[in-house]
Structure 1
Amino acid sequence: MKSISTIIGVALLFLAGLCYFINWHALVPAFTVLGIAIMTRKALEPLIIGCAVGFVLLAMQGGSKEFFPEGEGMIFPLNMFDGMFSSISRDAHDQGLIWVILVCILYGAFVQLLVASGGINAVGKYSENHVTNKKQSLIMTYFLSFFFFLDDYLSALSIGNTMRPITDKFGVSREKLALVLSFVCVPLTIIFPISTWTIFYGTQIAAIEGGVLNSAGKVITSPIEAFLGTIPYNFSAWISLILGALVVFQLIPDSKAIKEAEANVKVIDADVVKVKKKPAKEGKLVYFILPLVILIWCTIFPYPYDSEYWGSVTFSSESIFSSIDALRGIATACVFTYLFYLVLGVIKFNKISNNFVKGMESITFVLVVLGMTYLLKDVQNGLGFNEFVAEKLQGISWLNSATLPFVVFALVAWICWATGSNWGIYAILVPTTAILSRTIGADFWLTQGALASGTVWGAAACFFSDNRVLTAQSCKIDMMKHGISQFPYQLVIFGISSIMYLIAGFIL
């Protein structure tokens, strides 16, 4: 496996060098990051090197007022540092990045409070009493994930921490546990009407210039209504959920990497654990269930304490869906959980704040990787990555109404896979794909579904995307091992989805 990874990594680095010499500079950072990531199986270092390469290329080109506001005209390499600092400053004020950081930090603190209270241990104990073998532990992992539909971050962190002790007990490799999560976490949030992904993606569609009409001929203004039309066409998400079920029910064989991981797994001896490790705090199911209910409720109804808000709510699907706020939901849930545990004496006063901070600290590496991913996206925007790809698409003779959904899916999927970005790419390409679908007469909802599906596949398949980082974090596994072990399954999902988009393109 290592030799294959080395060959692929070297090939990608060769492509990066080739792109430099033929002046395809926009592709150099992406190929560099992927090549080094596959060879080293690291997450942070390849991103740092890729960003550095991108800044060097920008500086050699002379930069621009956007990337080099103070240092335009400086000699190389001095202008490189000005560009880097300008980009960091710009990302530090990016509302999207700030939102992600706050949500990640609070989810980390929330999960740590659940762990410290014994709530997650109680769920584990309950599950353990109803799980008697390896297969059942994977099935429970799969279906438990459906209760965390609000956000992929919450799902990855909560399910991994909850089920890891149980799957460890029955000899399930952590690679396979992480694989099951990769089948569910992101795909579920993109096909469930109430989720952070649905809100963000629906907002982009509703904001398309000229408006989008529903079946009644009225302009769609609700983000949820806008996104509902794409859900049937999110083929990669549906296939991922189906493939995940086939894996946990053992209806298809494991890949070579998963078989190797399963063969090398060591079943934890409970007696040894009792001697060497302090037993986990005994908790109650209510310590887990009540905070989770509050989280879900306050995410859907983010102003539970505002009487005017309740007076204005009509409880229609449109008004409820449009009010979803993941940040307010997790913030309110953290405050409630903190006070709930404190008042009932679940966690002692001198320990509850320590656990809250500990949960925040556990997300530090994730946040650094996320920051570098945003920086890489910024660099690639400066090099014209998206414009370069769009330009190469122009003039393709076989790009028509039947093939557009497939082209959109395949192109976006690999762009997101290469960059680790999904929401940003989606926001950039929604207007472009809308214009293309209208111009050449392709089905609008199928094309938008293909766009969303491509970002979902890219987020799930990318070795260093935010969800891969969080999944590896909660499953206590090396991120690159997880990324490589689940990649063959992602290729299957990509292949089947591509065929379905081709068929749907000719039918619709």
Structure 2
Amino acid sequence: MPAESYGAISLLPALFAIVLTLVSRQVLLSLFTGIWIGATILVGWNPIAGMAHSLQLVINSLITPFNSKLLLFTFLSGAMLGMIFLSGGMKALAERIIARIKTRKQAELGTSILGMLIFVDSYASTMITGSVMRPITDQFDISREKLAYLLDSTTSPVVSIAVVSTWVGFEVGLIRDQFSSLGIDQSAFVVFLQSIPYRFYSLLAIALVFILVVMGWNFGPMKRAERRAKEEGKVLGDDADPLIETREEDIVTPDHVDSRWWYFALPIVALVAVTGFGLLYSGGWPSKAPVEALKGAATADAILWGVFSACALLLAILVGHARVELEAVSDSIFEGFKMVMFPVAVLTLAWTIGGVSETLGVGGFVVSIAEGIITAPLLPAVVFVAAAIVSFSIGTSWGTMGIMFPVAVPLAFQLGAPLPSAIGAILTGSLFGDHCSPISDTTVLSSMFAGADHVDHVNTQIPYAVLCGTVGTLLFLANGYGLSGPILLLPVGVLALFVTAYYLSEHRDAAVPSVFGSSSD
């Protein structure tokens, strides 16, 4: 049966898995149930054959080159963290930072700024910022839910609009492909730059982080989590199940090791430097200009080279300078692998259910509905919402971009809608849905490196994401109907965030339940 014929049924597997995850808090079981439902539909509604097909679908997601490289990256990240814990370097650096950070607000600002500064890659930014700041935010009784939110909202939103990042090549490539097929004689990179002011969700998500941190506001389930952490000293809820199980205390630094802060800093510098070089080199630099090289960069290869280099340098530091025995190093590596086993399982099943949804044609179904109500003024807002729904359902912003570009850009061209706003709507709408989805890889990694319960992270982040998405939709509507341009609309949007956040924080009780139930208390 062709994917286009499944219609509304194509939404069933992902929505079932997402709702069951948020209600039951059993992530793996819920995701696999959604996969089984999708596989059963694909094999003609035979539940027994659907179970066998489910296993094959999981295998197929594991052997996809990009996914397998990201899983290896995750395992090596665990190994790196295990060796960092053994070296005591993270603790030494945290002690130096804590000596300069005096308040919770400074700790949250430091986390947000660090997340934005590492704009080369969202995965690397999440890993580095979470690893550095988790012991510091714990010291100031900042909830793991808040840390995960800060990671999630200062990595992808920043990387997606950065002109030097792992995203820019993919995004510019999508624009270039559509311009080529439509015969549009414009620079894809220039239009990419022109779309940045229209990335309303991405820009508002960053703005909301600093509004909440500077003003000390929280609302919804996050307010409850922060109250628990501040008043009871519990950075995790009593029934929380953090994605990273192993704590730094589980890996003991040998007594003879004089821990240095650079035991942690040097491997991180190596990770960033090698990743950046890898992006350029894999794209054809130095024979190509840096911007051109980034367009063809092999993202998965670059981050894999970076984390492997960091591991190799850590091994040399531990054995050569710290004089740690190889047996202890080996044990720390395996402890690190244990940290990431659950996230690896979640990522694998999340990718699989996203693939099932794509096979069922969820993107085509959502787009077909959106096409029926699109006019030139409405197009950016409708495309934004459609991209958000697709991204939420399949758990990948890049996959959503690939689905939306071949439909939305030609439609915008035919209707005479401004291309920068239409393209901005696709790119930022894809990020909005990805931020809300518990089956998103970036959402999973944020929970992982924050050491947070994944369901709690999703529950506490959704109200913030929905607020930014709602304001973003209104800005697209205002721009589409000619009320103002994006440069003037963005300050209005930020003001709307400020006023709404103030009302929800100061005049709404934290006990108000979230859409998907309470987070851990």
TM bucket normalised to smaller:
0.7 to 0.9
* 1:151 alignment counterpart: 121
Write the deviation string for residues 288-319 of structure 1: whole angstroms up to 9, x where unpaired: 3322222222222129999xx88x45665434
Aligned partner of 2:16 among 32, 41, 44: 32
Separation in structure 2 between the aligned mates of residue 412 and residue 502 of structure 1, nearest angstrom: 16
Separation in structure 2 between the aligned mates of residue 293 and residue 188 of structure 1, nearest angstrom: 20
* 1:267 alignment counterpart: 233
Aligned residue pairs, count: 456
Determine if contact 2:387/2:430 at 8 Å carries over to the other structure.
Answer: yes
* 1:435 alignment counterpart: 410
**TM-fit CA distance, 1:431:** 1.7
**TM-fit CA distance, 1:340:** 4.0
Residues 463-472 or 127-136, more deviating:
463-472
- Alpha-carbon RMSD across the aligned residues, in angstroms, is 3.1
Is the aligned partner of 1:333 residue 2:310?
A: yes
CA 268–209 in structure 1, closer or farther in 2 if over 3 Å, else same: closer
Aligned partner of 1:236 among 201, 207, 216: 201
Determine if contact 1:119/1:285 at 8 Å carries over to the other structure.
Answer: yes
Superposition pairs of residues 350-365 of structure 1, within 5 angstroms: 350-365=327-342
Is the aligned partner of 1:502 residue 2:477?
A: yes
The one-letter code sitting in structure 1 at the alignment partner of 2:357 is Q
* 1:272 alignment counterpart: none
Is the aligned partner of 1:369 residue 2:349?
A: no
**TM-fit CA distance, 1:242:** 0.8
Separation in structure 1 between the aligned mates of residue 50 and residue 173 of structure 2, nearest angstrom: 36
Aligned partner of 2:422 among 447, 465, 473: 447
Is the aligned partner of 1:480 residue 2:451?
A: no
* 2:221 alignment counterpart: 257
Write the deviation string for residues 240-283 of structure 1: whole angstroms up to 9, x where unpaired: 111101111125x31132232223223389xxxxxx99976763
Separation in structure 1 between the aligned mates of residue 182 and residue 190 of structure 2, nearest angstrom: 10
**TM-fit CA distance, 1:336:** 3.3
CA 95–107 in structure 1, closer or farther in 2 if over 3 Å, else same: same
Separation in structure 2 between the aligned mates of residue 183 and residue 291 of structure 1, nearest angstrom: 25
Write the deviation string for residues 311-343 of structure 1: whole angstroms up to 9, x where unpaired: x45665434675573333333333333334433
* 1:390 alignment counterpart: 367
CA 406–304 in structure 1, closer or farther in 2 if over 3 Å, else same: closer
Separation in structure 2 between the aligned mates of residue 294 and residue 152 of structure 1, nearest angstrom: 17
Write the deviation string for residues 464-495 of structure 1: whole angstroms up to 9, x where unpaired: 32222222222222111121112211111111
Residues 78-87 or 118-127, more deviating:
78-87
CA 355–315 in structure 1, closer or farther in 2 if over 3 Å, else same: farther
Separation in structure 2 between the aligned mates of residue 201 and residue 317 of structure 1, nearest angstrom: 12
Determine if contact 2:409/2:419 at 8 Å carries over to the other structure.
Answer: yes
Determine if contact 2:447/2:454 at 8 Å carries over to the other structure.
Answer: yes
CA 354–427 in structure 1, closer or farther in 2 if over 3 Å, else same: farther
Separation in structure 2 between the aligned mates of residue 236 and residue 80 of structure 1, nearest angstrom: 38
Write the deviation string for residues 27-58 of structure 1: whole angstroms up to 9, x where unpaired: 22122122212211332222111111112222
**Which of structures 1 and 2 has the larger relative contact order (alpha carbons within 8 angstroms, sep 6+)?**
2
CA 285–455 in structure 1, closer or farther in 2 if over 3 Å, else same: same
Unaligned runs of 5+ in 2: 1-5, 236-248, 486-521
**TM-fit CA distance, 1:410:** 1.0
CA 106–455 in structure 1, closer or farther in 2 if over 3 Å, else same: farther
CA 479–320 in structure 1, closer or farther in 2 if over 3 Å, else same: closer
* 1:208 alignment counterpart: 178
CA 110–448 in structure 1, closer or farther in 2 if over 3 Å, else same: farther
* 1:456 alignment counterpart: 431
**TM-fit CA distance, 1:435:** 1.4
* 1:318 alignment counterpart: 292
Separation in structure 2 between the aligned mates of residue 44 and residue 145 of structure 1, nearest angstrom: 28
Superposition pairs of residues 122-201 of structure 1, within 5 angstroms: 122-201=92-171
Indicate the SS of the match to 2:72: helix
- What percentage of aligned pairs have identical amino acids? 25
**TM-fit CA distance, 1:444:** 1.7
Unaligned runs of 5+ in 1: 1-21, 62-75, 270-275
Determine if contact 2:7/2:365 at 8 Å carries over to the other structure.
Answer: no
Determine if contact 1:117/1:346 at 8 Å carries over to the other structure.
Answer: no
**TM-fit CA distance, 1:77:** 4.3
CA 237–347 in structure 1, closer or farther in 2 if over 3 Å, else same: farther
Separation in structure 2 between the aligned mates of residue 383 and residue 282 of structure 1, nearest angstrom: 57
* 2:388 alignment counterpart: 413
Separation in structure 2 between the aligned mates of residue 166 and residue 470 of structure 1, nearest angstrom: 19
The one-letter code sitting in structure 2 at the alignment partner of 1:267 is G
Separation in structure 1 between the aligned mates of residue 438 and residue 365 of structure 2, nearest angstrom: 23
Write the deviation string for residues 340-371 of structure 1: whole angstroms up to 9, x where unpaired: 44332364322223333433332221121121
Separation in structure 2 between the aligned mates of residue 98 and residue 416 of structure 1, nearest angstrom: 21
CA 109–193 in structure 1, closer or farther in 2 if over 3 Å, else same: farther
Separation in structure 2 between the aligned mates of residue 299 and residue 360 of structure 1, nearest angstrom: 22
CA 293–376 in structure 1, closer or farther in 2 if over 3 Å, else same: same
Separation in structure 2 between the aligned mates of residue 350 and residue 322 of structure 1, nearest angstrom: 41
* 1:470 alignment counterpart: 445
**TM-fit CA distance, 1:88:** 3.3
The one-letter code sitting in structure 1 at the alignment partner of 2:426 is L
